[in-house]
Amino acid sequence: MYEASTQVRVRYGETDQMGYVYYGNYALYYEEGRTSAIRFLGVTYKNLEEIGIMMPVMNINITYFRPAYYDELLTVKSTIRNLSKEDTEVTFHSEIYNEAGKKLNESSIRLAFVDAATRRKTRVPELLYDQLRGFFE
């Protein structure tokens, strides 16, 4: 299992009329969590794009427990529970916590590895799998 955390601060423009973070913005926070988790391994989405790999979201499921508010510092915890070198998809299980450590919501986000030239699924790129291998063997 691979786990990484990053923090994001809620900006004013991300809140709604009630003062809560607008629900659609949590997807952006989860994206920041995913890209940071990969970056912590020494790989960026840009690196993946340079070798012809795209990672479109295929499914996102979010369960909300409580709201986040303007200027709160949130912690996004992203986890990959399993991955093999034959996989053509990866699922990130993520949670967002407020500064008090209370869980605000949780998600499951499934992405595909897609060859940019053919637009078809492909196996997890070696560039990424080599960095994750030790967490799953």
pLDDT in tens, the chain (137 residues): 999 999 999 999 999 999 999 999 999 999 999 999 999 999 999 999 999 999 999 999 999 999 999 999 999 999 999 999 999 999 999 999 999 999 999 999 999 999 999 999 999 999 999 999 999 87
Q: Is 117 exposed, middle or buried (0-12, 13-18, 19+ CB in 10 A)?
A: exposed
CA–CA separation, 4 vs 80, rounded Å? 9
CA–CA separation, 59 vs 119, rounded Å? 18
71 is catalytic: no
- As a dihedral over the C-alpha atoms of residue 114, residue 115, residue 118, residue 123, rounded to 10 degrees, the angle is -80
CA–CA separation, 12 vs 15, rounded Å? 6
Q: What is the amino acid identity at position 2?
A: Y
* Contact assessment for residue 128 and residue 45, using Cβ atoms and an 8 Å cutoff: no
The catalytically annotated residue of 16, 71, 87, 115 is 16
pTM over 0.85: yes
Domain positions in the chain are 2-136
Q: Hey, what long-range contacts does 112-115 have (CB within 8 A, 24 or more apart)?
A: 112/55, 112/56, 112/58, 112/88, 113/53, 113/54, 113/55, 113/87, 113/88, 113/89, 114/53, 114/54, 114/55, 114/56, 115/52, 115/53, 115/54
pLDDT, tens digit (0-9, with 9 covering 90-100), for 86-115: 999 999 999 999 999 999 999 999 999 999
SS3 label, residue 13 = helix
Could you tell me which CATH class the domain 2-136 is placed in?
Answer: alpha beta
